[in-house]
Amino acid sequence: MARRANRRIPIEASSGNVFADLGLPDAADLDTKVRLAVKINMMLAAQRLNQATAAARLDVSQPKISALKNYRLDGFSVERLMNFIAALGEDVRISFSPRKTAGSHGKIVVEGP
């Protein structure tokens, strides 16, 4: 039986946005879209909507629901995803607060499950 070498792998703390950690452009937008899509997919599951019924409810094609369920979000804006949440029966609240650090960029935070 071969023994593995006991090597330490450096671990880097996450910023909270995996897309930013990977250096992807539009990281904040990608993170927001994924968090909204997670919420939508949870709502679709909780309401036991199949793709055809969900498509009719959200006024989109069934392939769009399939893309959403598989987190292929290129064809969706943040606004459209928020409208889906509202169409599925939950309120979407947008609030603003001062930045914590002077001179830093503000950030977008999606709260909730």
pTM of the model: 0.78
CATH superfamily membership of 25-87? lambda repressor-like DNA-binding domains (1.10.260.40)
Determine the Cα–Cα distance for residues 41 and 6; give it in Å rounded to an integer: 41
pLDDT tens track for 25-49: 888 889 899 999 999 999 999 999 9
The answer to whether the CB of 91 falls within 8 A of the CB of 80 is no
Burial class, 67, CB count within 10 angstroms (exposed 0-12 / middle 13-18 / buried 19+): middle
Domain range list for the chain: 25-87
Kindly compute the dihedral angle of the four CA atoms of residues 45, 113, 32, 38, in this order, to the nearest 10 degrees: -20
pLDDT tens track for 52-108: 999 999 999 999 999 999 999 999 999 999 999 999 999 998 888 887 777 677 777
Burial class, 113, CB count within 10 angstroms (exposed 0-12 / middle 13-18 / buried 19+): exposed
Q: Which residue has the tokens 């897309």?
A: 19
Determine the Cα–Cα distance for residues 47 and 26; give it in Å rounded to an integer: 32
What pLDDT, on a 0 to 100 scale, did the predictor assign at position 4?
Answer: 65
Residue 44, both tokens: 């679709």
What pLDDT, on a 0 to 100 scale, did the predictor assign at position 81?
Answer: 97
